[in-house]
Structure 1
């Protein structure tokens, strides 16, 4: 793993080149204690190779209209981080395909069509609002995942947990870029809220369809105990996520108002000290206030 950072003296994002290992025997239920959560995450991961190139395309289309040099630098770092995200998710999604999930091809085709149509038929202002809406949701979701990391990821496969937590640490790190670009070029409260609602409903709708299809392939969708577990899991997630989402609806919301979780800042320090270790977190110790890497050669 390696990192690149800009050197203009301003606070800049870190563009990290990560590596994650997935055991050959790993099933789609990489969290064996929570197969339903595994498939929710898997379904969300399937969107990333389509969603994030759409976000990158939107930002690149906006770039020529921006005259603020600091914002241009932040936009470029954001694009670089998002490129790393979708590349890593594509690798993970290929791992899921190798495990025999036949529904993935259809799910991916629908996602590819969605984001192609948005990019080709919607205005730049709409696409910037969607991007800002997604990033605001991702900030809320990232904070929720980190706060509830022991329950959601405890004892799971290190590679997958490390992938997801890395992704959302960086969502927190670049939390204000899409907001700033949107505000700079198309800022409007009602457009921003529309973008948030549109992006949230769209992504959650596609994610639900994805995990439903995957759970059907597992034979769990019609299993009563699994459906109860799924319902309780979703209640827990939305109980923790909803207050964070409601905050975004405030007219004077700005992501800079949202405090970065201490664990996310500790993860960034771990990466600086141990690049490889940040990609192999010890999921048995996620209750610790700071992330802990597996020992060299140890697997989980």
Structure 2
């Protein structure tokens, strides 16, 4: 099944409004998870342009007009993602300039090196590997939304959930582009593992540095809370990750979460509401916005 068979991608620009005073510990009850997300967010202004560059280089090799259309929509969505994360990251950097600056320098160098030194085939495999992982992450975040985001700062929780709603939405594109140009199971799986371990390594370095700066890294209660959150995350992720390994796997076979579809309807009715979800009511099967 091609991506165009199920495509409904929409380029959205929710009006997120972040507060600097809550940017670092936007989930006050879970500062450890806050920093896991913060560390992942720092990668987006470097990862997403790399993915866009890779897909635009591949565009000339795509002979399917529908797939070209979906590729262009994918790039537009990813562009919106990294610009929104950059705004949030600026708030983090204002609070932790040296720590965030050092982490950003490593990420910048990583993706510049990959784009410059590795082949288009490798970079397409990385892009597909990342997007397959992101699809699994999107489902996990929706399933665990109350545990991970309950009571959190609405703008940051909404930013993360919006981003991964759209990761689910464009789930087919890099897979179909990679298959259209190379169609190699070995390269697809190699890209999956390389991208997964690269992102996880950099994310761990990031949250470790941020927790050290907060004085929490050597706090036993904090480390246990981090271990608990990570265990729950990986328990949900593992079966979703394993299905990607099947030679017959295609992301279109993964049904979209009902909550995601409801979020898309909410955005159509109120982009401001979708940018400021009521994190006290995430148990409900549809997103509820806070009063304006």
- Report the TM range for the smaller structure's normalisation: over 0.9
Aligned to 2:156: 160
Aligned to 1:70: 66
For the residues of structure 2 that align with 1:102 and 1:281, how far apart are their CA atoms?
A: 31
Are the structure 2 counterparts of residues 17 and 69 from structure 1 closer, same or farther at C-alpha, using a change threshold of 3 Å? same
C-alpha contact (below 8 Å) 2:23/2:91 kept by paired residues:
no
Does 2:251 correspond to 1:255? yes
- Cα offset for 1:215? 0.3
Aligned to 1:229: 225
- Cα offset for 1:275? 1.5
For the residues of structure 1 that align with 2:104 and 2:20, how far apart are their CA atoms?
A: 23
Does 2:237 correspond to 1:244? no
Structure 1: unaligned runs, 5 residues or longer: 1-7
For the residues of structure 2 that align with 1:155 and 1:149, how far apart are their CA atoms?
A: 11
For the residues of structure 1 that align with 2:96 and 2:40, how far apart are their CA atoms?
A: 18
Match of 1:266 among 241, 262, 266: 262
Match of 1:197 among 193, 197, 204: 193
Aligned residue pairs, count = 289
Kindly report structure 1 stretches of 4+ aligned residues shifted beyond 6 Å. Answer: none
Aligned to 1:185: 181
Does 2:110 correspond to 1:114? yes
- Cα offset for 1:27? 4.4
For the residues of structure 1 that align with 2:105 and 2:21, how far apart are their CA atoms?
A: 27
C-alpha contact (below 8 Å) 1:101/1:214 kept by paired residues:
no
- Cα offset for 1:102? 2.2
For the residues of structure 1 that align with 2:96 and 2:254, how far apart are their CA atoms?
A: 41
| TM-score when normalising by structure 1 | 0.94
- Cα offset for 1:32? 0.4
Are the structure 2 counterparts of residues 158 and 9 from structure 1 closer, same or farther at C-alpha, using a change threshold of 3 Å? same
For the residues of structure 2 that align with 1:275 and 1:31, how far apart are their CA atoms?
A: 22
Structure 2: unaligned runs, 5 residues or longer: none
| TM-score when normalising by structure 2 | 0.97
Counterpart of 2:12 in 1: which secondary structure? strand
Aligned to 1:215: 211
C-alpha contact (below 8 Å) 1:12/1:74 kept by paired residues:
no
Aligned to 2:92: 96
Deviation track 1:115-158 (CA, whole Å, cap 9, x = no partner) reads: 01110111111100000000000000010000000000000000
Aligned to 1:283: 279
**Once superposed, what is the RMSD of the aligned Cα atoms?**
1.3
For the residues of structure 2 that align with 1:178 and 1:281, how far apart are their CA atoms?
A: 29
C-alpha contact (below 8 Å) 2:125/2:188 kept by paired residues:
yes
Match of 2:39 among 43, 50, 74: 43
For the residues of structure 2 that align with 1:224 and 1:97, how far apart are their CA atoms?
A: 27
Aligned to 1:60: 56
- Cα offset for 1:187? 1.4
Match of 1:23 among 4, 9, 19: 19
C-alpha contact (below 8 Å) 1:58/1:127 kept by paired residues:
yes
Task: Say which is worse superposed, 283-292 or 8-17, in terms of deviation.
Answer: 8-17
